């Protein structure tokens, strides 16, 4: 048995030098020191020895085990260090190699402008609300005082899914939904995508974005509308920019007004962009028609309100001095990279 212990010890120590990885080292440990290992088998056979020889034999086994475990630990450290070095070399990156240049993306000017507009109105206490882009005729037209024979309902201007469902032509149906489901006071803005059967050109697109606002409460006046839009214009286009109201007509509002701001290109002096007037139209607005309030279940004798709507692309064109609408949708990186 003594010879067997020495042979196992010598065999284990010699085998350590031949092991090339930690997996092989673990297999050697199991073969020698595992539950079914050779040295473990010696320990189990010691019960057959005379009692007086067991202590000496046990000491030999323990010394052999300690020596093997110490050698295993040293060899494990060596192999781990070697494997780590090999892994680092395999994973090394040559930082001197030329690489393809990655350009940074940018927020599209339409959405950049829309986010700024939303921030302005939220700062005034408005709530942002959204609605479906595929809308019922009832909300898109009827509740907004657009009768069946109104020109805006013509198929030339509207994408019809069927007789009662359309692709919304403005975000006003969101206002109609709010008025039929909430009680005043109401103060909301409705940004979103809208659809018109227009030919794509420098100033038109069949798909574009609008933002509309609605305020309904007791004692709301046209002066409140003017003050709100003056504040908005000054925040979006710069201090000193104010609005000019011109009488107009919209079925949804009465009285109605188109709103202009001084031309950003000529500062009000008159140029080709503003057709010599010094002003550029930016939105439509007015006091909510009492008939609309009544159709939506709001008492027009007690409550009044104002509404306004604007094209976000048009605002972006003016804010960033972009010469044409098509640039917004051509996805030319040379153009978009200017808005980083």
Give tens-digit pLDDT for 127-144. Answer: 999 999 999 999 999 999
Query: Has residue 103 been placed in a domain?
Result: no
| CATH number of the domain enclosing 114 | 3.30.930.10
Query: Has residue 104 been placed in a domain?
Result: no
Domain encompassing residue 73: 2-91
- Do 174 and 282 belong together in one domain? yes
The number of distinct structural domains making up the chain is 2
- Do 260 and 153 belong together in one domain? yes
- Do 174 and 299 belong together in one domain? yes
Query: Has residue 167 been placed in a domain?
Result: yes
Query: Has residue 322 been placed in a domain?
Result: yes
Alpha-carbon gap, residue 262 to 293, rounded angstroms: 33
Alpha-carbon gap, residue 295 to 89, rounded angstroms: 76
Mean pLDDT of the chain: 85
| pLDDT tens-digit series, residues 93-112 | 777 878 787 777 788 899 99
- Do 85 and 17 belong together in one domain? yes
- Do 84 and 45 belong together in one domain? yes
8 Å CB contact between 287 and 306: yes
| pLDDT tens-digit series, residues 38-52 | 767 766 666 666 676
Query: Has residue 98 been placed in a domain?
Result: no
- Do 62 and 115 belong together in one domain? no
- Of the residues 63, 91, 119, the one at which a domain ends: 91
- Of the residues 31, 63, 91, the one at which a domain ends: 91
Alpha-carbon gap, residue 322 to 309, rounded angstroms: 21
8 Å CB contact between 260 and 243: yes
8 Å CB contact between 162 and 195: no
Enter the pTM of the model: 0.67
Alpha-carbon gap, residue 23 to 79, rounded angstroms: 10
- Do 209 and 252 belong together in one domain? yes
| pLDDT tens-digit series, residues 291-313 | 999 999 999 999 999 999 999 99
- Do 84 and 119 belong together in one domain? no
- Of the residues 62, 91, 120, the one at which a domain ends: 91
The per-residue pLDDT for 125 is 94
In sequence order, the 6+-apart residues with CB closer than 8 A to the CB of 37 are 30, 31
- Do 260 and 297 belong together in one domain? yes
Query: Has residue 102 been placed in a domain?
Result: no
- Do 140 and 206 belong together in one domain? yes
H/E stretch holding 222 reads helix 222-237
The per-residue pLDDT for 84 is 86
The per-residue pLDDT for 155 is 58
Please give the chain's pLDDT, 340 residues, in tens.
Answer: 666 777 777 777 777 778 878 888 788 778 777 777 776 776 666 666 667 666 777 677 777 778 877 888 888 888 888 888 888 888 877 778 787 877 777 888 999 999 999 999 999 999 999 999 999 999 999 999 888 877 767 756 888 898 889 999 999 999 999 999 999 999 999 999 999 887 776 667 889 999 999 999 999 999 999 999 999 999 998 888 888 999 999 889 999 999 998 876 676 677 776 777 788 888 999 999 999 999 999 999 999 999 999 999 989 988 888 877 888 888 888 888 888 7
Q: Is the peptide bond before 255 cis (omega within 30 degrees of 0)?
A: yes
Query: Has residue 159 been placed in a domain?
Result: yes
The per-residue pLDDT for 135 is 93
- Do 241 and 190 belong together in one domain? yes
Q: Distances from the Cα of 177 to the Cαs of 31, 56, 99, 193, 266, in angstroms?
A: 78, 96, 54, 17, 41
Query: Has residue 96 been placed in a domain?
Result: no
Q: 184: how many CB neighbours lie within 10 A of its CB?
A: 18
The per-residue pLDDT for 253 is 93
DSSP codes, 83-127: HHHHHHHHH---TTS--PPPPP----HHHHHHHHHHHHHHHTTPE
- Do 26 and 147 belong together in one domain? no
């Amino acid at each position: 048995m003594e010879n067997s212990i020495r042979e196992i010890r010598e065999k284990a120590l010699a085998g350590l030098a031949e092991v090339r990885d930690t997996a092989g080292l673990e297999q050697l440990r199991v073969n020698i020191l595992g539950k079914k290992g050779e040295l473990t088998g010696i320990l189990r056979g010691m019960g057959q020895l005379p009692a007086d020889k067991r202590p000496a034999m046990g000491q030999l086994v323990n010394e052999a085990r300690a020596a093997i475990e110490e050698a295993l630990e040293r060899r494990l450290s060596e192999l781990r260090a070697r494997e780590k070095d090999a892994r680092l070399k395999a994973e090394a990156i040559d930082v001197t190699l030329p690489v393809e240049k990655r350009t940074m993306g940018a927020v599209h000017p339409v959405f950049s402008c829309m986010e700024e507009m939303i921030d302005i109105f939220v700062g005034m206490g408005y709530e942002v609300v959204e609605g479906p882009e595929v809308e019922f005729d009832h909300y898109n037209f009827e509740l907004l005082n657009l009768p069946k024979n109104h020109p805006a309902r013509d198929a030339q201007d509207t994408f019809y899914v069927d007789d009662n469902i359309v692709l919304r032509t403005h975000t006003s149906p969101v206002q109609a939904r709010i008025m039929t489901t909430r009680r005043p006071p109401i103060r909301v803005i409705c940004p979103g995508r809208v659809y018109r059967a227009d030919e794509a050109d420098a100033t038109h697109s069949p798909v574009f974005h609008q933002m509309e606002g609605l305020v309904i409460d007791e004692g709301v006046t046209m002066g409140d509308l003017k003050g709100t839009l003056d504040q908005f214009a000054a925040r979006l286009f710069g201090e000193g920019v104010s609005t000019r109201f011109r009488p107009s007509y919209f079925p949804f509002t009465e009285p109605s007004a188109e709103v202009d701001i001084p031309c950003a290109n000529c500062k009000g002096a008159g140029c080709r962009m503003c057709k010599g007037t010094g002003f550029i139209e930016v939105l439509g607005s007015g006091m909510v028609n009492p008939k609309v309030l009544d159709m939506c279940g709001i008492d027009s004798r007690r409550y009044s309100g104002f509404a306004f709507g604007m094209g976000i692309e048009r605002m972006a064109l003016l804010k960033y001095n972009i010469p044409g609408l098509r640039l917004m949708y051509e996805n030319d990186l040379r153009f978009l990279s200017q808005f980083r």
